[in-house]
Structure 1
């Protein structure tokens, strides 16, 4: 099966899975502006008096930092299934030690990447079975899904131009060819079509302040 499969999903939303907090994730290709929008959202939520946990995957824990170094900076081949398993291992530890405790406290968790990235990058990008990759992460996280997933959609060519402008070395995934990143983008959009109630899809070429306002509206609706 593929990410286009329309059968009902079996995993609960974050609110049903653990507590009174809110779990917001940012997804999209490299260079789409996830870090910028996560920072703007964090500032806005904090200004309203809510506690925020800002984190990322991989690398949101000490264990995750080591895994991040392997999956993004290892020089040499990594088997696609091994790569997916490494991301899932990071996710299992991260959710148990950071995300779920924050949700239980009532915090707003703002996270750069989650399981949808694995489905898009290792599923669509590496051409593994998307449902297998998703099921692995759902098992690793005990079924935890975000309350809101913001997908910043950007054409891979435009994304590459942004990365080039940063003048920083590419990591293993950023260095992949445009064909890989096109599959990743298609994978993300397929996930958004499959779960429109969870995803907010935004055109990443719009002005940052316009995108931030759209994100704030969606978060406000879920905080009520």
Structure 2
């Protein structure tokens, strides 16, 4: 999908610094991306690329938009969840000589992340979608679906997580719960499912910590708490339903 720059509006004031570096600096960042990243063996340990990798890709995206009037992103339909859409089209950037090599962390290079564009209309910003979490939720979804088919639609519930959401009884599934770590805290990331059987990752504890850091009174009751995680870090909360503060606590909302 290619968004016309004319429809994007003016960039936010906080992004004006991007243009100051100029095309030459952005191209230098693009050419040196492979030198900015962790070695593959360290990548396996950290599960996250260094910050300068994201900054380098951001510079390339900004330069592409400046030169082409478009964003270098792949097509996404209306049904694609917000934190899974607008994947950066790295092959296009290579074909058009905006990048000499791809980030080692990128899926296209054999890494564990999709590089996405968020806030695409007002202030296009590069973010990372962790494929380990994405795939783990999909795996659990497959087990839950299979269980439901063989148990007349009954779900493997193990107590309420939030209104309309429950924990998952992995013993009923005959499976070991996948060990998934939050990129926001390093702690274990639990799974949950809706009453309809849709599986999600539960970022509630991360959201609480970020909300407290910002100030609960400043967050308010209407903000989708996923925005806190996406705005304050390089990572998007993939496979999460909307959350809002209810009684001072993060509570999952219906999609």
TM value normalised by structure 1: 0.27
TM-score scaled to structure 2, two decimals? 0.25
The structure with the largest helix share of the pair is 1
Q: Which has the larger radius of gyration?
A: 2
